Structure 1
Amino acid sequence: MKKVFLAVLLVLTLSVFAFKPVTLVDDLGRIVTFDKEVGRIVVAAPAISDFIVKLGAKEKVVGVTNFDSYITDVEKIGNMVPLNVEKIISLNPDVVLLTGGFQEGEISKLEKFGIKAFVLNATTLNEVFRDLSLVGVILGKDKTAQDYAQKLRTRMLNIAKNTFSWKEKPRVIYLSAYGSVSQMWTCGTGSYLNEIIAYAGGINITAPYTGNNGWFAIGPEFVVKENPDIILVPAYYPGDKGAYNLIMNAEQFKDVKAVKEGKVFIIDGNKASLPNTGLINLLGEINKLFSENK
């Protein structure tokens, strides 16, 4: 019995000393220290769940928002904003992972109750790789995350290298339109979608401009003036042709080259709006599309 007790005590002692406190800087520049191993996570931004699933640590997640499509079999905490702090407290998380922008105001609400918050808010592909690595550190899967991030980075660079030899590159614009084309959203410098278009072999005609996280609104006059070769539009569910039909049927665009030549293409709007590993798959899909329509 004494030997059994000593063996158990040794295991417990080793487990205590096996963890070394980790201090990280999140995407808001906040310094966050993890004094103990993270075993219970609430994910308040669905894009982050992708990292956790890819790193094989889904079992550590105890709560997600109602909008999470990556992890669906754990407790739901409700909306992304405002966060249901009472529900989160009941789940006793070691950390809540959330994004910047509209969720920044939620951080102080969590910290008021002693709940650790860590923000991941990638706006570039390299920041996506960095966030994947940060999640790996939080999960205790540093090496796995670093290797996976390097694999994704290598795939990205290989696609980009293959487009260097293209003599002609299509002039491209991304247009997100709802209800009418009087105001559409597009991506410029500072957005990961602008990077994807460039790495995929296209010339983003809105690259010289920028806005909040690289996104800004434009009118139909800009599109007519620039006369793109290819227009990319988002779809968010099977059969979604809302933006596509608006662009194709807009009287203002009847003489735009991409419309006349049938080169308005639907891309996955969910992948395009979530800064996680799905962006590299989207890069491959857009690269193939450009290759076939140069």
Structure 2
Amino acid sequence: MRIFKKSILVFALLFVLSFSPLFSLADSVNYPLSIIDNTGTIVNILQEPQRIISTSPENTEILFALGLKDKIVGITNYCNFPEETKNIEKIGEMSPLNLEKIVSLKPDFILAYAGFQLQEIPRLRKLGFNVLVIEPLTIKETLKSIKMVATVCGIPEKGNILLEDLSQRVDKIKTEVSKLAISNRPKVFIGGTYETIYTPGEGTLFNELITLSGGENIAASLPGWVKISPEFVAEAEPEIIIIPIGAMNPGEESKVKENISNRPGWSNIPAIKTQSIFIVNEDLFYRAGPRLVDGLELLYEIFHK
């Protein structure tokens, strides 16, 4: 009964907050500001952040895209874009977070990412830090997260400009794809050079990007990032193979293509026969930030140009 009452109370509070002008993502910001992050936590921002730490690459890219680079005092070792990130103090790994290093940088705002950091975030809040957690799972949620960050940081107008540009680019691709016949949407396999094959299925950002750009993901009916067999790929007969490379899946382009082309049992796959194998930057598809739209445009070019 206590749990039930608590749930009702939380629901009621979220309902009120979501309709209150104080908590809306409006075009002007009045501090103190209270906002609900992606974990459903109410975060109270007393004043405009001046010293920001980002605990993930996608968050860092959002901050840079919003023109906040001069306020960033700490980022992770994996934050490698844009080039200016090399001049910013590193806090270490994405997990476990180096709390001692974070404390030493005296941030007044921490932009965190959910997932494996969720267990560490309460410790940051216990230390008195303002922590906003985002974990967008779709392009739409990514755009909302960008707007949220812009609002919290006191620059909603810059957020609006960025969102308008990104939204227009997405809509342009959607319009072009809507004109395509189903038969003109190529079957696509996303893979790597590892012996064990993991590919993005339903509910992943990558799958959404493939669909929006006018492709047919051979693993679209499978949930999440899923392990599949070489036989599954051969039977699906993809017309295009996309191999993301980067920190998570390193490789030299020519060697990656050779490895894929010579995989046992794959010689009759249409994409292998036509050498429709494309090596792409994994960061454009794995990071829920502004460059997702770059990834969307790249896939459209590959599929239809």
Match of 2:86 among 44, 51, 72: 72
TM-score by length of 2: 0.83
- Paired amino acid for 1:222: F
Structure 1 residue corresponding to 2:234, chosen from 221, 224, 227? 224
Is there any run of 5+ residues in structure 2 with no aligned partner, and where?
1-28
Which residue identity does 1:68 align to in structure 2? C
The separation in 2 between residues aligned to 1:130 and 1:121, in whole angstroms, is 11
Residue in 2 that maps onto 1:176: 192
- Mapped contact 2:73–2:107 kept (Cα < 8 A): yes
In the other structure, the counterpart of 2:222 is 209
* Residue pair 2:76, 2:94 contacting (<8 A) in 1 also: yes
How far did residue 259 of structure 1 move?
0.9
1:19-168 aligned at under 5 Å gives the runs: 19-70=30-81, 71-167=85-181, 168=184
Does 1:252 find its partner at 2:262? no
Task: Determine the C-alpha separation between the residues in 1 that align with 2:296 and 2:123.
Answer: 37
Q: How far is the alpha carbon of 1:248 from its aligned partner? A: 1.3
Alignment partner of 1:290 is 2:280: no
| Alpha-carbon spacing, 1:245–1:27, altered in 2? closer, same or farther (3 Å) | farther
2:294 match:
281
CA distance in 1, matches of 2:166, 2:99: 35
Contact between 1:235 and 1:242, CA under 8 Å: does it hold in 2? no
* Secondary structure of residue in 1 paired with 2:302: helix
CA contact (8 A) 2:54 2:75 kept: yes
| CA distance in structure 2 between the aligned counterparts of 1:36 and 1:138, rounded to whole angstroms | 9
- After superposition, the Cα gap between the structure-2 partners of 1:241 and 1:139, relative to the gap in structure 1 and judged at 3 Å, is farther
**In structure 2, C-alpha distance between the alignment counterparts of 1:164 and 1:199, rounded to whole Å:** 9
Please give the root-mean-square deviation of Cα atoms over the aligned residues, in Å: 1.7
Match in the other structure for 2:7: none
Structure-1-length-normalised TM-score: 0.86
Distance 1:241 1:34 in 2: 50
The offset of 1:242, in angstroms, is: 5.5
What per-residue deviation string (whole Å, max 9, x for no partner) do you get for residues 160-190 of structure 1? 2112222321111211342x2xx21111221
Q: Highest Rg: 1 or 2?
A: 1
CA contact (8 A) 2:173 2:297 kept: yes
Partners in 2 of 1:142 and 1:158 — Cα distance? 24
Q: Is the 8 A contact 2:205 2:286 kept in 1?
A: no
SS in 1 for 2:49: coil
* Alignment size in residue pairs: 269
Per the alignment, do residues 242 and 22 of structure 1 end up closer, same or farther by CA in structure 2, a change over 3 Å counting? farther
